Structure 1
Amino acid sequence: MEYEDEPIPGLPGRLPPGEDILWQGTPDWRGVARGVFHTRLVAAWFVFVASLAFLAGGTGLKGAGITLAVAVLGLAILGVLARAQAMSTIYTLTNKRVVLRFGVALPKCVNVPLSLVGKADVKPAGNGLVDVSLTPTVRFPLAYLQMWPHVRPWKFGSPQPMLRAVPDAFLPLLADALAKADPARATGVNPDAANAGAMLGAAA
């Protein structure tokens, strides 16, 4: 595999002189399950269908039970997919760039220079987690499907790399790195925010 032997986990090679790792981590798989695979919506849908089966008569309790059993199986599969996605992903923040290494079957490693990040949009992901999308100042070279799920939803024409389900403690580190890389373009993140909801430019 292309990234089976990494000199530094999550990075395609050793860092050049003058570049240092500021933070490295993986997505929380529960956050990936909620944000990428929408497990809460799936669970709510199955509960609704089971309720209809129970109230409508006919199969009644048996039909509701079968529906809920299928729901448990389906949610378990989505949980396995979310865990695999999270375990195959490493995000790295250095003083020069953000590196996203991801992919279960076909690993990819994407570099996003901090000097080319116009702003960072933040969306709360629950339980102290946030999704952080990076808006490049130039056209991003990879397509939406090549980056999925580490890309901001619905931005098909202008893909924006996204770090999924990372701790909100990552935000001040990113803000500081952006400010040092290019102060004129680092105003998209508020390093003093107490939580993601108070961040400037919160994602929709």
Structure 2
Amino acid sequence: MPHDDFAVEPVRGLPERPPEGELVLWQGRPAAYALARDALNMNWVAGYFMLLAVWRVGVSSADMPFLEALPLAIPFVVIGFVAVAVLYGIALILARTTVYTITTARVAMRIGAALTVTLNLPFAKIESADLSLKSDGSGTIAFTTAGDTRLSFLILWPHVRPWKMRKPEPALRAIPDAANVARLFADAAEASFDAPEIARRPARAAGGSAVPAE
């Protein structure tokens, strides 16, 4: 289902114009900070270097006055700041090159900074969706694909549910207002499956003979 997307997009985020009758319901992208926090573990990295700085000062203060030991934390703080800045920069690039789309028939994901691909997930190929919500309202909607659909974890990353290596689950990662987006997706998917034709069976009279439905 991935599609190399080197051509000019006729519609933002989509490799071609939607078929007649298919409507774009929502488009969005990851929030850079939320993506850095959730996918790139930026807060963990910051905490790690802060812990190293505190440890260095604590150990050194056993052999020298605290005020003299305090400057020894500066290298760890500087390295930590650089690491966090790099992670945030990567998240910012990934966010700006990503377009998530929900239409009346599918979920589309235009992803990739160096190599851009577009992943199309028709509702019929989505078995289930799972919402992971954060306290700030951002969150991730991960999709379990139906049948033998196989996707590459490395190509999808970070737009994929973490640690699902055997059968990767593509995800709308770190999106703002995730609860409302999930509700919109659920309504659209339900509406698309309400569309199949309904077979009308003839009603039966009390005596058992068939009565044609009007």
Asked if TM exceeds 0.5, the reply is: yes
Q: Which residue of 2 aligns with 1:33?
A: 36
Query: Displacement, 1:140?
Result: 2.7
Q: Secondary structure at the match of 1:99?
A: strand
1:115 to 124, 146, 154: 124
Q: TM-score, normalised by structure 1?
A: 0.85
Q: Secondary structure at the match of 2:134?
A: strand
Cα distance between partner residues in 1 of 2:5 and 2:105: 23
Query: Displacement, 1:36?
Result: 0.8
Q: Rg: which structure is higher?
A: 2
Cα distance between partner residues in 2 of 1:88 and 1:68: 30
Indicate if the aligned counterparts of 1:140 and 1:160 stay in contact, CA closer than 8 A.
no
Q: Secondary structure at the match of 1:56?
A: helix
Q: Which residue of 1 aligns with 2:92?
A: 83
1:110 is aligned with what amino acid?
Answer: L
Indicate if the aligned counterparts of 1:150 and 1:162 stay in contact, CA closer than 8 A.
yes
After the TM superposition, which residues 33-52 of structure 1 pair with which residues of structure 2 at under 5 Å, given as runs? 33-52=36-55
Q: Which residue of 2 aligns with 1:21?
A: 24
Q: Which residue of 2 aligns with 1:173?
A: 184
Q: Which residue of 2 aligns with 1:56?
A: 59
Which 5+ residue runs of structure 2 have no aligned equivalent? Answer: 195-214
1:65 to 74, 93, 108: 74
Residues 109-128 of structure 1 show CA distances to partners (whole Å, capped at 9, x for unaligned) of 00001122111101113411
Aligned residues: 183
Query: Displacement, 1:31?
Result: 0.9
Identity %: 33
2:134 to 112, 121, 125: 125
1:142 is aligned with what amino acid?
Answer: L
Query: Displacement, 1:4?
Result: 5.5
Residues 126-157 of structure 1 show CA distances to partners (whole Å, capped at 9, x for unaligned) of 41111000011123332111111111111111
1:9 is aligned with what amino acid?
Answer: R
Which 5+ residue runs of structure 1 have no aligned equivalent? Answer: 184-204
Cα distance between partner residues in 2 of 1:7 and 1:99: 14
After the TM superposition, which residues 153-168 of structure 1 pair with which residues of structure 2 at under 5 Å, given as runs? 153-166=162-175, 167-168=177-178
Deviates more, 1:78-87 or 1:135-144: 135-144
